[in-house]
């Protein structure tokens, strides 16, 4: 089972939320969802959250220690998989998929014995379709794009690039369901928005194109550009497939 973690920000019930999730496990859901059919949570009330409801730096170390204790208990009692964490509205919620529940209380007692100074609630319920993972933790197309944007921005910064300096940024688009008329209309729309087509693309028999425009690759700037391109592409039954720029 593959395991790698991603973190991103989103809105949940109108509140800002920090979501950490195991992205690697998404590739194995069909194989394991019936082995781990129960969603479980441990919800911790923060003592002094930030004004936006997220954890402050001082309390972050204690929450990280609590998280490690929970993971150690999960391994000790072998009851399930840790799949993600949500911080929002003054609470931290740790989420697990369980294989069985008969020793859930033993798991809690072992993990939380050093954290009696926190207000903690917990529970579990059936979720054999893994809806909590798919609909709460896993990002939608725009949220996933922001994750990828920030990875590229960080990589550019690590190479010493000033992200405030405009440069040519290339964007890939694939016409998966588009008609010929829609392809032409999409490219015309992008031309109006200041993009130019540089070349045609072909991947697995699917036609596409690279378009480019001069912009700043700074975090907020590239987020706005790519999210707009996702919307435009959807209007013409096409798929936006990311960006790149030269160092």
Give one DSSP letter per residue of 214-246, joined into a string.
EE---HHHHHHHHHHHHHHHHHTT-EEEEEE--
Contact 170, 243 (CB under 8 A): yes
Domains and CATH numbers, the chain: 5-137 (3.30.70), 141-244 (3.30.70.970)
Alpha carbon distance 184, 142 (integer Å)? 24
Give residue-wise pLDDT tens across range 92-123: 999 999 999 999 999 999 999 988 899 999 99
Q: What is the pTM of this model?
A: 0.87
Rg (CA), the chain: 22
pLDDT higher than 70, residue 76: yes
pLDDT higher than 90, residue 51: yes
């Amino acid at each position: 089972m593959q395991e790698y973690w991603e973190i991103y920000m989103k809105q949940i019930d109108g509140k800002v939320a920090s979501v950490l999730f195991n992205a690697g496990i998404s590739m194995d859901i069909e194989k394991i969802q019936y082995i781990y059919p129960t969603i479980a949570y441990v919800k911790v009330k923060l003592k002094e959250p930030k004004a936006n409801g997220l954890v402050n730096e001082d309390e972050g170390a204690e929450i990280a220690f609590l998280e490690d204790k929970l993971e150690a208990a999960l391994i000790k009692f072998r009851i399930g998989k840790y799949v993600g964490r949500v911080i929002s509205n003054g609470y931290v919620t740790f989420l697990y998929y369980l294989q069985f529940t008969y020793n859930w209380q033993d798991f809690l007692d072992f993990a939380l014995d050093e954290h009696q100074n926190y207000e903690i609630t917990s529970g579990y319920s059936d979720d054999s379709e893994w809806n909590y993972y798919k609909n709460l933790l896993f990002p939608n197309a725009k949220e996933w794009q922001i994750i990828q944007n920030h990875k590229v921005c960080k990589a550019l910064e690590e190479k010493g690039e000033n992200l405030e300096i405009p440069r040519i940024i290339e964007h890939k688009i694939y016409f998966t369901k588009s008609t010929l008329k829609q392809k032409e209309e999409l490219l015309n729309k992008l031309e109006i928005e200041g993009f130019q087509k540089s070349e045609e693309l072909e991947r697995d028999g699917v036609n596409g194109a690279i378009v480019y425009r001069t912009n700043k690759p700074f975090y907020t700037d590239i987020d706005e550009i790519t999210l707009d391109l996702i919307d435009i592409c959807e209007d013409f039954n096409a798929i936006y497939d990311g960006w790149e720029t030269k160092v």
